[in-house]
Structure 1
Amino acid sequence: MDVKAARKSGLKKVGEVADIFGTTPRTLLYYEEQGIISPRKTARGTRVYSDADIRRFEVAYKLSCLGVPLKTIKDLALTRHNALTGDESGRKLSNIIDGLVEDLQRQIRHLDYMKQDLERGRLMIRLCWDCKNKPSRLTCPNCPCEIHMEQSQLLWLTWDADREVSAQGPLNPPRTKCMEASLPNVPTEAVADASTSRVDPARRRRRGRQPLERTRNSK
């Protein structure tokens, strides 16, 4: 098959497929080297991809973008081909998929917690609107971001870098990485604070001071 015949058949070249997914031809070649996809070649060695090849790559690439290890993706792609019986392939694939579902559920819980934290941080930051002071704990010691520092991890990134950590510490220790397979369960405190955005500003200020008051009393 030459390139013209391949084009008439609707087959795509490696660069075209890479453009569809916003990646590089080298990525597709690497997946081919791992045996995950198997494009055809023209008489002159040009790789061409059918719709089935593209769909296969799409699934593998999406899993990779979610942080699924390449070895796991490779196992998904090759287990059925290498199995001696349907029972063997079915059981092995089921075990792999069970692990993926569990990992994705952890990621979803982690992302949901981070969303709630961002919403709490946004709420505190909006209390700074119309403030004329320079935004720092020295020039604006009563800043809502200073008072409510323990209510959102985001504020530790947006506020003064040299601020000391209180005895209470952050709501959630910085021990996770987004899209990791070993993400922890979301703390129950995060769920309890999910309705913060529906509380009126006066109540938010009272709630925000409570952790600081408890810290002072503990000393």
Structure 2
Amino acid sequence: MNYKIGELAERFGTTVRTIRYYEEARLLEPLRSSGGTRLYTERHRARLQAILELADSGFSLEAIGQVVHARAQCRTGEEGRRVVSARLAAVGQTIAGRIADLTRLQNRLSEAEALLEQCRGCRNRPSSQGCPACPLKQQREDRVLLNLIWDQDD
């Protein structure tokens, strides 16, 4: 089955401009009809899905391009295997690092949420002046996320 660019954009919830941008970056090369209309096969659709997943996860077009073009630059299948494997491993390491960072952040968010329970039933205004002895204020130095919710005035 062939897709037109608008159909592909709609299918993935992206824009025609985004798909054209990936084409300009040589990450995706559609077929062309005799009239010049871009046509995308199932393989193009699958490639676009992979590109979007990486891009949505914060990978640069350069990093994605290194994976996309790695195999084509090799002389043998063995060389291609080594080069592509190394590029995929680098992507995997980046993802593992981001997962670790997000896990730390998730733990900090849960900790901050638990600390906010100390304010349950508090009738004071939530500010330095309204609640000068607030237990959250005392823990700001140790709990970095509390600095987002406590006023900056003091």
> Above 0.5 in TM-score?
yes
What is the aligned partner in structure 1 of residue 120 from structure 2? 129
**CA distance, structure 1, for counterparts of residue 11 and residue 135 of structure 2:** 46
Instruction: Give 3-state SS (helix, strand or coil) of 1:116's partner.
Output: helix
Q: Rg bigger for which structure?
A: 1
The match for 2:2 among 11, 24, 42 is: 11
- Residue 23 of structure 2 is aligned to residue 32 of structure 1: yes
| Overall identity of the aligned pairs, in % | 32
Q: Does 1:42 align with 2:59?
A: no
1:113 aligns with 2:98: no
Return 5+ residue gaps in structure 1 as ranges. 1-9, 164-219
TM-score by length of 1: 0.65
- Structure 2, unmatched stretches of 5+, are none
**CA RMSD, 1 decimal:** 1.5
Distance in structure 2 (CA, Å) of the matches to 1:146 and 1:27: 45
Tell me the alpha carbon deviations over residues 11-47 of structure 1, each in whole angstroms, 9 at most, x when there is no partner: 2211121122222111111111222112112222111
Give me the TM-score of the superposition, normalised by structure 2. 0.91
Q: Distance in 2 between matches of 1:72 and 1:22?
A: 22
Offset at 1:50?
1.5
- The structure 2 residue matched to 1:84, chosen from 71, 75, 87, is 75
Partner amino acid, structure 1, of 2:122? C
The total of aligned residue pairs comes to 154
Aligned ranges 1:1-219 → 2 under 5 Å: 10-163=1-154
Conserved 8 A contact 1:125-1:144: no
Q: Which protein has greater RCO, CA pairs closer than 8 Å, 6+ apart?
A: 1
Q: Helix, strand or coil for the counterpart of 1:27?
A: helix
